[in-house]
Chain A
Amino acid sequence: MSHEKVHYRTICNSERATSSLGTMSSRGFRVATTVAGVAATTVLAGCASDAPQDTWKPAGPNAQKIQDLQWPIFLTAGIVGVIVMAFIAFCVVKYRDRGQAIPDQAHGKAWLEYLFIAIPAVILTAIAIPTVGVVMALNDTDDTECVINVTGQQWWWEYDYEVGADGTICGYAPSEVAASPIITSGQLVIPADTKVLLRGTSRDVIHSYWIPRLNGKRDMVPGRVHFLRLESDTPGIYAGQCTEFCGLSHANMRMETVVLESAHFQRWIDNELEPYQAPAEGSLAAEGETTFIAQCSRCHQVNGLVDPGNGNLVVSYPDQFVYSGAAPNLTNFLGRNTFAGATWDLLTPQCRTDVWESSPEDFGDKYLAGVSQDCLNEIDLREWLRNAPAKKPMYADPAMLEQSDGKVRGMPYLGLSEDQIDQLIAYLLERK
């Protein structure tokens, strides 16, 4: 049995235990709680291992608002459904032709018809009023505490943490250096208990940002800026997926939102802004740096990277080659634990479980440790470096793309040798 299952069962069981602890002593109540307990067990049986994008397991106030609104409505719909079905079943059984006389050819009863207009009207009004309230509440952004820019492109998300007027990022000042914008991709890192506002757009087609356990989805449309609130008080990784069809590799456009408690978020910011450390001279990683500059730096930025050959800062100019004009910033690549549109894991399955399913208290440290050599999922990363478009369908062949002046979407086939891949992996292992 996997670590994850054991852990979640514990949570579920403890929840159940807490709920039955609050029972009264009287016998009637005990019967009632037993029934409720059985019902709860049935429900919680699913709780143990629901999909990470379960839309019914809110982990923050925005998703909670939706959940509080929707479960009574689902319940009402269910009850109405059962009543209608029972009514139909009754008619089907009761009025089956058993040789009865031809019924009266009456065309209806006015009062009955009005009644059946009134009943749904009343139910729907009862649904409509709180719905409007929640729509307004979810769009209220006045008390935002942290703004992060989100940009979609085929087929990954970029995050851009601006430095606020007060010189901080989301209220956090870097400990050792002056604040400067942080650019990452795939995994959005946010501080816990903070009202985060995503300010989103797109560089090509419409994408949609959706972390089901934190909020509903919001389309990110080129030429427009849309807003989405995210907030959670529980550290952890929350999975999401682009939900507006965005072309060839729509299925491979995922994202995660990582919630870190305050101290850990501070550490994350400090780490992101740490100056570049070149690999030790003569190491495999140093060869990787050379390979990276030659093969990757055209599109991928590593902040502070200096070409040892000429002492120049290496700056990517991806707009020449990539339709969206951007490729993921790899400064702290292995500080994240998924890649290529958050579709593949950088962690081996075991290490992944350890981080993803860790308790909220342990999560921050485990996440900030990044991907170690032992935990690196080399299989997928090597496949990717060997031939990216074979792993993730992309319009990556410039010759095929006359219509967009040969600009590619996604990473092209680079023809790297196995030696070069070894070097790159050694180099990337230090990027965290």
Chain B
Amino acid sequence: MAIIERPSDAVEVVDETTPSVATPESSYGVFRRPVETTGWKSWLFTIDHKKLGIMYGVVAMFFFVVGGIEAMLLRLQLAGPNGTVLSADKYNQMFTMHATTMVFLFVMPMAAAFANYFVPLQIGARDVAFPRINAFGFWAFLFGGLFLNTSWFLGGGADGGWFMYAPNSSVAFSPSNGVDFWGLGLQITGVASLTGAINLIVTVINLRAPGMSLMKLPIFTWMVLVVQFLLLFAIPVITVALFMLMFQRSFDATFFSVEAGADPLLWQHLFWIFGHPEVYILVLPSFGIVSEILPVFSKKPLFGYPLVVFSGAAIGFVGWGVWAHHMFASGLGPISVAAFSVATMAIAIPTGVKIVNWTLTMWGGKLRFTVPMLYSVGVIVQFTIGGLSGVTHSVAPSDTQQTDTYYIVAHFHYVIFGGAVLGLFAGMYYWWPKMFGKMLNERLGRVNFWFTIIGMNLTFGPMHIVGLQGQPRRMYVWTENRAGDGFFNIGFWNLIASIGSFVLALGILLFFVNIYVSHRKGTEKAPLDPWDARSLEWITTNPPKEHNFDRLPQVGHLDEFFHRKYEDRGSDGHHEFHQIATAEEVVAEEENNADGHIHLPSPSYWPILLAFSLPIMAYGVIYNVFLLIGGAVLGLVSFYGWGLEPHTAPEDDYDPPTGTAMEVAAHG
């Protein structure tokens, strides 16, 4: 891999637009390693965590739009009684794919985008521990997601709901290939998540900057770490379940065949043992983002940092013991139900801790309501509503009235949209200048925020009413004779929810408008430290250089950057903080003491090729065994190619005496 022989006075590294001039040859095989720094190849074969992070984000936003359009169609169908926008079959496919897309192809990868981009920056590392595996993870996610969605053109999407309960998922009840696409696609994205999890765990454990003990780890990185452990243990469970489903449908296995003696509840247990930790996989990254943003805009450290860390870890642990609260109506028997009911209540405690600590972070602060801050406060408020409705159905008898009604739909949209998605938007506004060197427009951002908040409450708020009035989920029509006609009538509130979904969509659209407006020609470059931030990712340029930091930062404080900028000149218990350095000065100090040797990994063909073999094999499972074998061969070749490729290129490939040429090469 590339080694930059850097003159010690090098400050600005390279002009990113300079084309590549050096093409190092591989010591093995016939392939030259790709070293382009611009153009499509620089993205296709990159193993730079920042480029991968951006690609995760772009693809996730694409799927967000896809899932959003699916949601709009659902709401159009339900706006009035006996809707005719979608057929029953299409409606069932639509809600299945809406949930699948939003969970697996938007929220998870969007969190992965931030994790990829910012974990190395927050811990003062130059990349993740396994850069090629990182690239593989991204491509596996992309190909898995695209594979999943090709089902729309090949006989229809999966139609069994995202929970895909057996035996309704078996061929007799779901004869199209939709469920096959679903099961195989999620196995592929599961591989992506697993590799990502291992990678980030090793990165955080091993690559922290000198001085950064675990209790000085930025809170976002902490939450990401917890999530990676959840993924590490949850993904195998769903993979086993999906593997069984694949054999059930494609190879006549009888794991879920009642007539052969199987118990359909097996699937439910497997699914929810994955499915409940999954909820925390979705929200904890956003909790981390919010926990980064609130201190910055309150100009105070996070209140009770250790407790927020431990409560995150506690959620991670207890999250494994509550899965059967999705099954209170499944007929588990009173002892199990009572036990899971109480365990579910217990998990409200660490979750409550977070809300209290966020609010106490603001207490006594110096609050600046920028757009990221607005979104963060939005998370606290909306998630609190979702959390409280969550407590009402931790009460198992109450839940037997609410489960599978719109009350649940309302609850988890407040949790996932209000908690996770708003947090992700907070992160986008907060880190946009860091990632792209431009500020997103604040004024437009406010409009974006208010449309989103009002839209989400109009959409999901009425679902509480509709659900408590007894409207079940997953019905392609509702009818007037079950709607009632008082203030709480189902018809009116369904209409409001549908109108709300359009307000919400408009809010999201404004975000894209904002990107366009903020990146038009002539918009100013973002300042180095636009928010007066506190953590390590801001001690470098916007966007960061390829190698992130000229000098690996030495960490002495939890909020290292803040303490480099401000000094406490108070005495006798009286505090008085004064600015002692600007961000520019702090960064210049690092650049002036740049490390001599900077090792960066270089790009590779193999990750994308290996990832590409996965959907080919998956199509093979559905259509043709020879396709399966072909995909497997490509995978095997890629495996060996990858294995034989030196993970550090021999020095003589890369070590001309000096010069900019090699620096450029290193950017490939």
Q: Are B331 and A88 in contact (CB under 8 A)?
A: no
Q: B348: which A residues are within 8 A, CB to CB? A: 120, 124
Q: Are B165 and A124 in contact (CB under 8 A)?
A: no
Contact of B486 among A48, A134, A205, A323 (CB under 8 A): A48
CB-CB contacts of A395-414 with B at 8 A, as 1s and 0s?
10000111110000000000
Which chain B residue lies CB-closest to A85? B381
Q: A217: which B residues are within 8 A, CB to CB? A: 329, 400-401, 403-404
CB distance from A382 to the nearest CB of B (A): 18
Give the interface segment out of B59-67, B361-369, B644-652. Answer: B361-369
Q: Does B620 contact A (CB under 8 A)?
A: no
Q: Are A73 and B395 in contact (CB under 8 A)?
A: yes
Q: Are A135 and B264 in contact (CB under 8 A)?
A: no
Q: Are B397 and A216 in contact (CB under 8 A)?
A: yes
Q: Are A245 and B160 in contact (CB under 8 A)?
A: yes
CB distance from A40 to the nearest CB of B (A): 14
Identify which of A92, A105, A210, A224 gathers the most chain B CB atoms within 10 Å of its CB. Answer: A105
Contact of B165 among A128, A206, A400 (CB under 8 A): A206
Q: B522: which A residues are within 8 A, CB to CB? A: none
Q: A91: which B residues are within 8 A, CB to CB? A: 359, 362-363, 365, 367
Contact of A51 among B92, B298, B306, B488 (CB under 8 A): B488
Contact of A105 among B469, B479, B577 (CB under 8 A): B577
CB distance from B224 to the nearest CB of A (A): 21
Q: A280: which B residues are within 8 A, CB to CB? A: none
Q: Does A212 contact B (CB under 8 A)?
A: yes
CA of A109 to CA of B172, assembled, Å:
60
Q: Does A11 contact B (CB under 8 A)?
A: no
Q: Are A55 and B369 in contact (CB under 8 A)?
A: no
Q: B357: which A residues are within 8 A, CB to CB? A: 108, 113, 116
Q: B566: which A residues are within 8 A, CB to CB? A: 102
Q: Are B391 and A136 in contact (CB under 8 A)?
A: no
CB distance from B335 to the nearest CB of A (A): 9
Q: Are A128 and B381 in contact (CB under 8 A)?
A: no
Q: Are B264 and A223 in contact (CB under 8 A)?
A: yes
CA of A221 to CA of B87, assembled, Å:
27
CB distance from B331 to the nearest CB of A (A): 4
Q: Does B572 contact A (CB under 8 A)?
A: no
Q: Are A251 and B400 in contact (CB under 8 A)?
A: no
Q: A95: which B residues are within 8 A, CB to CB? A: 298, 362-367
CB distance from B242 to the nearest CB of A (A): 19
Q: Kindly identify, within residues 95 to 141 of chain A, every residue whose CB is under 8 Å from any CB belonging to chain B.
A: 95-97, 100-109, 112-113, 116-117, 120-121, 124, 127-128, 131-132, 134-136, 138-139
Q: B333: which A residues are within 8 A, CB to CB? A: 139
Contact of B331 among A47, A56, A84, A218 (CB under 8 A): A218
Q: Does B248 contact A (CB under 8 A)?
A: no
Q: Are B404 and A244 in contact (CB under 8 A)?
A: yes
Q: Are A219 and B377 in contact (CB under 8 A)?
A: no
CB-CB contacts of B342-377 with A at 8 A, as 1s and 0s?
100110110011011101101111111100000001
Contact of B171 among A88, A112, A403 (CB under 8 A): A403
CB distance from A166 to the nearest CB of B (A): 29
Q: Kindly identify, within residues 475 to 529 of chain B, every residue whose CB is under 8 Å from any CB belonging to chain A.
A: 475-479, 481-490
Which chain A residue lies CB-closest to B368? A97
Q: Kindly identify, within residues 550 to 585 of chain B, every residue whose CB is under 8 Å from any CB belonging to chain A.
A: 558-559, 562, 566, 568, 575-577
CB-CB contacts of B162-183 with A at 8 A, as 1s and 0s?
0001011001111100000000
Q: B159: which A residues are within 8 A, CB to CB? A: 247-248
CB distance from A119 to the nearest CB of B (A): 8
Q: Are B391 and A55 in contact (CB under 8 A)?
A: no
CB-CB contacts of B320-344 with A at 8 A, as 1s and 0s?
0000000001110110011001100
Q: Are B384 and A244 in contact (CB under 8 A)?
A: no
Q: Does B653 contact A (CB under 8 A)?
A: no
Q: Are B486 and A49 in contact (CB under 8 A)?
A: yes
Contact of B568 among A46, A105, A120, A215 (CB under 8 A): A105
CB distance from B651 to the nearest CB of A (A): 46
Contact of B172 among A52, A219, A343, A404 (CB under 8 A): A404
Give the interface segment out of A63-71, A169-177, A416-424. Answer: A63-71
On whether A49 and B165 interact (CB within 8 A), knowing A91-B359, A204-B173, A217-B329, the answer reads no
Q: Are B175 and A108 in contact (CB under 8 A)?
A: no
On whether A248 and B89 interact (CB within 8 A), knowing A47-B486, A53-B482, the answer reads yes
Q: Does B300 contact A (CB under 8 A)?
A: yes
Interface residues contributed by chain B, number (CB under 8 Å): 112
Which chain A residue lies CB-closest to B466? A51
Q: Are B168 and A205 in contact (CB under 8 A)?
A: yes
Q: Does B470 contact A (CB under 8 A)?
A: yes
CB-CB contacts of A322-363 with B at 8 A, as 1s and 0s?
010000000000000000000101000000100000000000
CB-CB contacts of A5-42 with B at 8 A, as 1s and 0s?
10000000000000000000000000000000000000
Q: A239: which B residues are within 8 A, CB to CB? A: 470, 482
Q: Does A226 contact B (CB under 8 A)?
A: yes
CA of A401 to CA of B313, assembled, Å:
49
Q: Does B474 contact A (CB under 8 A)?
A: yes
CB-CB contacts of B461-479 with A at 8 A, as 1s and 0s?
0000001111111111111
Q: A345: which B residues are within 8 A, CB to CB? A: 481
Which chain A residue lies CB-closest to B479? A343
Q: Are A247 and B486 in contact (CB under 8 A)?
A: no
CA of A339 to CA of B87, assembled, Å:
21
Contact of A131 among B264, B342, B407 (CB under 8 A): B342
CA of A299 to CA of B348, assembled, Å:
52
CB distance from A70 to the nearest CB of B (A): 4
Which chain B residue lies CB-closest to A242? B472
Q: A369: which B residues are within 8 A, CB to CB? A: none
Q: Are A244 and B392 in contact (CB under 8 A)?
A: no
Q: A212: which B residues are within 8 A, CB to CB? A: 401, 470
Q: Are A135 and B265 in contact (CB under 8 A)?
A: no
Q: Are A132 and B338 in contact (CB under 8 A)?
A: yes
Contact of B381 among A88, A254, A393 (CB under 8 A): A88
CA of A239 to CA of B329, assembled, Å:
18
Q: B355: which A residues are within 8 A, CB to CB? A: 84
Q: Does B202 contact A (CB under 8 A)?
A: no
CB distance from B81 to the nearest CB of A (A): 11
Q: A102: which B residues are within 8 A, CB to CB? A: 299, 366, 566, 577
Contact of B369 among A50, A96, A243, A393 (CB under 8 A): A96
Contact of B299 among A80, A103, A135, A206 (CB under 8 A): A103
Q: Does A54 contact B (CB under 8 A)?
A: yes
Q: Are B474 and A250 in contact (CB under 8 A)?
A: yes
Q: Are A223 and B262 in contact (CB under 8 A)?
A: yes
Q: Are B367 and A96 in contact (CB under 8 A)?
A: yes
Q: Does B84 contact A (CB under 8 A)?
A: no
Q: A139: which B residues are within 8 A, CB to CB? A: 333-334, 337
On whether A46 and B487 interact (CB within 8 A), knowing A127-B391, A241-B482, the answer reads yes
Q: Are B377 and A92 in contact (CB under 8 A)?
A: yes
Q: Does A208 contact B (CB under 8 A)?
A: yes
Q: Are A107 and B305 in contact (CB under 8 A)?
A: yes
On whether A135 and B359 interact (CB within 8 A), knowing A45-B486, A92-B377, the answer reads no
Q: Are B377 and A120 in contact (CB under 8 A)?
A: no
Which chain B residue lies CB-closest to A133? B338
Q: Are B88 and A393 in contact (CB under 8 A)?
A: yes
CB distance from A257 to the nearest CB of B (A): 14
CB distance from B272 to the nearest CB of A (A): 13
Q: A112: which B residues are within 8 A, CB to CB? A: 360
Q: Are A134 and B397 in contact (CB under 8 A)?
A: yes
Contact of A66 among B261, B388, B398, B470 (CB under 8 A): B398
Known: A107-B305, A108-B357. 14 other contacts (CB 8 A): A48-B486, A49-B485, A50-B484, A102-B577, A107-B303, A108-B360, A116-B357, A124-B348, A132-B338, A212-B401, A216-B399, A217-B400, A246-B168, A248-B89
Task: Supply 18 A–B pairs (Cβ within 8 Å), ascending by A.
Answer: A51-B490, A66-B397, A66-B400, A92-B362, A95-B364, A97-B368, A101-B577, A102-B366, A103-B299, A105-B575, A117-B353, A120-B352, A205-B173, A217-B404, A218-B400, A243-B405, A403-B171, A404-B172
When A and B form their complex, which 7 residue pairs have the shortest distance between CB atoms, in order from nearest? Answer: A53-B470, A216-B400, A51-B484, A251-B475, A226-B331, A108-B304, A49-B486
